[in-house]
Amino acid sequence: MKSIADIQNEIIQEFLLLDGDMEMIVFYIMELGQKLPAMNESDKTDENLVKGCQSKVWLTARLQNDSVYFEADSNTAITKGLVSLLVRIFNGQTPEAILNADLYFMNKIGMDRFIGTQRSNGFAAMIKQMKLYALAFKTKQEA
């Protein structure tokens, strides 16, 4: 199992290949979103919506063999691509690892250059929601 840092470094390398070309970066993010496994329509409920996102983002999580697995979807291509990066980083990690994760890839790939303030806030909300799921699973494990 790759560590959260290893996966972030992979993502940074992929974005370096795009050489700061905004159009290519946006296209690549949208492509990543298309590769996200389909989420069950039945999971696209208001209670699975991430609060604080301008677009609709649905997120669910399950604990399997002490690892957390996320499913996500969005009604916009860019946002779906962004959430797919987080799913890639956090899927299969322990609740502990997710809670202690230091996410640095956004700064390294210059994410603030291609997503506006609104999306930035939404991205932070997605991370927060994923960490809340991890916290809930950790609490349940300790009980």
Residues 89, 62: Cα–Cα separation, whole Å = 15
CB 103 within 8 A of CB 130: no
pLDDT tens-place values along the chain, 143 residues long? 899 999 999 999 999 999 989 899 999 999 999 999 999 999 999 999 999 988 999 999 999 999 999 999 999 999 999 999 999 999 999 999 999 999 999 999 988 887 877 778 899 999 999 999 999 999 998 88
- For residue 114, the model assigns a pLDDT of 77
Nearest residue to 90 via CA among 42, 129, 33, 50? 129
- For residue 108, the model assigns a pLDDT of 93
- For residue 86, the model assigns a pLDDT of 98
- For residue 139, the model assigns a pLDDT of 95
Residues 26, 79: Cα–Cα separation, whole Å = 10
In the set 7, 39, 50, 53, the catalytic residue is 53
**What class is the 4-142 domain?**
alpha beta
CB 104 within 8 A of CB 96: no
78 included as an active-site residue: no
- For residue 53, the model assigns a pLDDT of 83
- For residue 80, the model assigns a pLDDT of 96
